[in-house]
Amino acid sequence: MQLPVGQTKILILQGDITEQDTEAIVNAANSSLMGGGGVDGAIHRAGGPQILEECKQIVARQGRLPTGEAVLTTGGSLKARYVIHTVGPIWRGGKNGEDELLAKAYRSCLALAVKYGIKSLSFPSISTGAYRFPKERAAKIARTTVVDFLIDHSFEELRFVLFSRNDLELYERVWVKLANCS
Ligand code: ADP
């Protein structure tokens, strides 16, 4: 599914984030930046050891990455030139600031992309795997946060890359439903 928001093309598709040819892809990392399962593991496997080397240097310089923040490395051997690593919140029932922290993670990635002049960026569904954030709630936060950010900024393309058919259909529902309400 493709839809415009201002000057920005939003693309929602089913696929593997490591194969995307946008200028940057987002990694749903953890605070250690030392790799892990899910998207994180897939990105380090596909991108090679250079990404982990750069992550280690970042941690040596500034310590663990707090939840909601983002840092940039090169993309190693990925098609994408850069990887933006962010840490989404672990779901703990919803009363521990999870919504705002997830929104902050998306905003931090978008702000870093603007800072580096990145024109196209792919997002996975942050926090909805090992971190167990409810998927529909997360999809709505992703949508609202991105649309708010696009009031003052624009990109050539923002892609949401969903791993499963179910997640794709959920995203499509959320974007279409909210588009009809606004
Ligand atoms: P988190 O720890 O932030 O929850 P995960 O990587 O465990 O991150 O999961 C986030 C989402 O990414 C899940 O919906 C998962 O199905 C999906 N996912 C896992 N591998 C990939 C991949 N290679 N490309 C795109 N999405 C993926």
Q: Is the CB of 82 under 6 A from ligand 1?
A: no
Distance 22 CA to ligand 1 centre (A): 18
Tell me what the mean pLDDT of segment 47-62 comes to.
98
pLDDT in tens, 125-173: 999 999 999 999 999 999 999 999 999 999 999 999 999 999 999 999 9
pLDDT of residue 178: 62
21 part of the active site = no
Q: Is the CB of 121 under 6 A from ligand 1?
A: no
Q: Tell me what the pLDDT averaged over the chain comes to.
A: 96
pLDDT of residue 180: 62
Q: Which residue range forms the structural domain that includes residue 37?
A: 2-181
Task: Ligand 1 pocket test: pick from 163, 168, 170 the residue with the most ligand atoms within 8 Å of its Cβ.
Answer: 163
Taking alpha carbons only, the member of 154, 164, 25 closest to residue 81 is: 25
pLDDT of residue 177: 72
Nearest Cα residue to atom 15 of ligand 1: 129
Nearest Cα residue to atom 1 of ligand 1: 127
pLDDT of residue 101: 98
pLDDT of residue 122: 99
Tell me what the mean pLDDT of segment 23-28 comes to.
98
Counted domains in the chain: 1
DSSP 104-121: HHHHHHHHHHHHTT--EE
Q: What is the number of the ligand 1 atom nearest to the C-alpha of 133?
A: 4
pLDDT of residue 11: 98
Amino acid at 47: G
Q: Where would I find the H helices in 17-97?
A: 38-47, 49-62
Q: Contact 42/15 with Cβ under 8 angstroms?
A: no
- Band (181; pLDDT cuts 50, 70, 90): low
At 34 the three-state DSSP class reads: coil
pLDDT of residue 140: 97
pLDDT in tens, 95-112: 999 999 999 999 999 999
Provide the β-strand partners of residue 73: 83
pLDDT of residue 130: 97
How many CB atoms neighbour CB 64 within 10 A?
Answer: 14
Tell me what the mean pLDDT of segment 70-98 comes to.
98
Token code pair at residue 66: 């707090």
- Return the CATH number at 174: 3.40.220.10
Q: Is the CB of 16 under 6 A from ligand 1?
A: yes
Token code pair at residue 134: 């409810």
Q: Is the CB of 80 under 6 A from ligand 1?
A: no
pLDDT of residue 179: 62
Distance 38 CA to ligand 1 centre (A): 5
**Angle at CA of residue 132, ends 129 and 77, nearest 5°:** 25
Strand pairing category for 24-29 and 82-87: parallel
Q: Is the CB of 130 under 6 A from ligand 1?
A: yes
93, pLDDT greater than 80: yes
